[in-house]
A = this chain, B = another copy of it.
């Protein structure tokens, strides 16, 4: 089998999800840095690989690509301990993955991008302000769930935790205050203590 190639941008939480899972599974991969702040996902060459112009992008074998971070997580975790085999538990994992992409990432990740990656908090203050309330709503929902559960699904660490951890643990970089969310904070520590854990800035 060819080695997996991951087109990635180190500060990206979406890219980090894949790096973290691959490392925890123990699957070797080659990481190719693509700087999204310099338009490197918009070149004709990159667009020929992913017409959507986004990272992470996984090259499974030469010329065979898969995009969308959470779709990549599902693909890589099938048959591993990180995706439950039980049909309803697996459905709950999917539920949290879609929640992450529709109700969490657009607000929390985007705020972090504007403030800490682009460093343009002033220029984008209106966009950041609009994301405050829905971002906190997502965190409150997570807090409620984690107040009664150790992990998101089935009381075990799964890709649902990986997907939600990626941007939650750096939410402060998007101006979100996590100190009021004690269950989230305890869960962040549980995730960090998992075997094979790597940090977001670790290549």
Contacts and interface: CB of A to CB of B under 8 A. Distances in A.
Interface string A139-157: 0010011000000000000
Contact of A102 (B91, B95, B106, B141): B106
A116 interface: no
Interface in A73-118: 74-75, 78, 87-88, 90-92, 94-95, 97-99, 101-103, 105-106
| Interface of chain A, main secondary structure | helix
A91 B75 contact: yes
A144 B50 CA distance: 12
Interface in A31-80: 51-52, 60, 64, 66-72, 74-75, 78
Nearest to A103: B52
Contact of A71 (B75, B78, B94, B103): B94
A102 B99 contact: no
Nearest to A72: B91
B66 A99 contact: no
A71 B97 contact: yes
B52 A66 contact: no
Interface residues of A, number: 32
A95 B66 contact: yes
A87 B78 contact: yes
A98 B70 contact: yes
Contacts of A67: 95, 99
A98 B95 contact: no
B98 A68 contact: yes
Contacts of A141: 51-52
Contacts of A88: 60, 64, 66, 75
Given A51-B144, A75-B87, A98-B101, 4 more contacts: A68-B98, A71-B97, A78-B87, A102-B105
**Which 7 A-B pairs give the minimum distances between C-beta atoms?**
A71-B94, A68-B98, A75-B91, A71-B95, A68-B95, A101-B102, A71-B98
